[in-house]
Amino acid sequence: MRSESGPKRPVTLDDVARAAGVSQPTASRVLNGSARKVAESYRERVLEAARALGYTPNLPAQAMARGTSRTIALVTSLISDPYFGALAAEILKQAEAVGLHVSIAVTERRADRELDLVRELRGQQPRAIILAGSGSVDPPSEQPLVDELRRYEETGGRVVLISRSDLPFDTVDFDNHEGARQLARELAGIGYRRCLVLGSDTPLLSMRRRVEGFVHGLADAGVAGARVRHPQFSWVGARDVVLGLSNDELRDLQLVFAVTDDMALGALAGLRERGLRIPEDIGVAGFDDITTLRDVVPALTTVHVALDAVAEEAVYRATTPDPEPTRRTVPAYPVVRASTPRLLS
């Protein structure tokens, strides 16, 4: 005989209907978001019965029945990075505004893991898959990933990319090259000439575009010969590069530009460890305008990326059928703050 303390059977929709004294279709309309109207008295009885019994909808079963679900799957490179954390928060906010939920999966910038995650998600049938993360400069063959995403689309799903251009699907991007170019031109215009650019040791296309954009912006302003280093793509990596500079190299610099705010803050920490004052002795600038910059002193010059607009556009595309893949580029623009004051001529 089964023990009374053993696992209990899950509460079903039929259980709720019986407890509420209504038909199963009526209970389903109340709990599964049907567009058909239900009398308020019945609705209250169903909701009360569901609460009392501890009923929760079987979301995978609903997805199979409807051919879709109320979930958007966000596949992101990292979640610990301030930029990706802020982007994920904005997507959650935009999805909630249209009555959808978001599940998050992290690839850790591994192409094999990204492919495995998409395969798993295809079986879960989310309403859309949003892939957020930069493509590589020399990417491996993406055909297996494209094939998986095409199969997913064939079942009615939507695919949206954020900040990557290596796959043939709807894309929401921001102009990494132009944002960095405009920042360099503005900084050159207020006197900065001798610059160190901190790129990335990872082959990320967006980071390369930021480096190239900044160097081109300096050239537009008549400044040639910017020094470029490619440290570990992190706060620690940027700090370590600064700590490794010779005293002569440091004395010759007027500005350190890093391709992310996180790296800029690492560079700033390294400069302070070397005994330099910011901005009296040297200027610092970054890219992304992450929200944690509100607590940084002096306020950091950066390139603002409107993540709310990026997220809104991505969720809109994820929930709006469109047979032709299109690209929307959200502008990125420089914000000059106290970390880069005008230099005396």
Q: Is residue 45 part of a domain?
A: yes
Q: Is residue 137 part of a domain?
A: yes
Half-sphere exposure for 78 (CA within 13 Å, toward CB): 9
Q: The tokens 């490794």 sit on which residue? A: 244
Pull the structure tokens for residue 213. 């954009």
Q: How many domains does the chain have?
A: 3
Q: What's the whole-number mean pLDDT along residues 12-31?
A: 84
Higher pLDDT, 39 or 117: 117
Q: Is residue 277 part of a domain?
A: yes
Residues 84, 193: one domain?
A: no
Residues 312, 203: one domain?
A: no
SS3 8: coil
Report the share of the chain in percent with pLDDT over 90: 50
Do 257 and 339 contact (CB within 8 A), yes or no?
A: no
- Looking up residue 33, the CATH number of its domain turns out to be 1.10.260.40
Q: Is residue 191 part of a domain?
A: yes
Residues 167, 312: one domain?
A: yes
Question: pLDDT class for 345, splitting at 50, 70, 90?
Answer: low
| CA–CA distance, 14 with 26 (Å, rounded to integer) | 10
Q: Is residue 237 part of a domain?
A: yes
The sheet with strand 227-229 has its strands ordered as 227-229, 195-198, 255-258, 283-285
| CA–CA distance, 202 with 276 (Å, rounded to integer) | 29
Residues 315, 296: one domain?
A: no
- In degrees to the nearest 10, what's the CA dihedral of 7, 8, 11, 12? 80
Domain of 249?
Answer: 176-305
Residues 258, 327: one domain?
A: no
Residue 314 class from Cβ within 10 Å (0-12 exposed, 13-18 middle, 19+ buried)? Answer: buried
Strand partners, 252: none
Residues 73, 150: one domain?
A: yes
* Chain segment 257-287, per-residue pLDDT in tens: 999 999 999 999 999 999 999 999 999 999 9
Q: Is residue 62 part of a domain?
A: no
Quote the DSSP letter at residue 204: B
Residues 192, 286: one domain?
A: yes
Q: Is residue 7 part of a domain?
A: no
Q: Is residue 337 part of a domain?
A: no
**Mean of per-residue pLDDT scores for the chain:** 87
Higher pLDDT, 85 or 271: 271
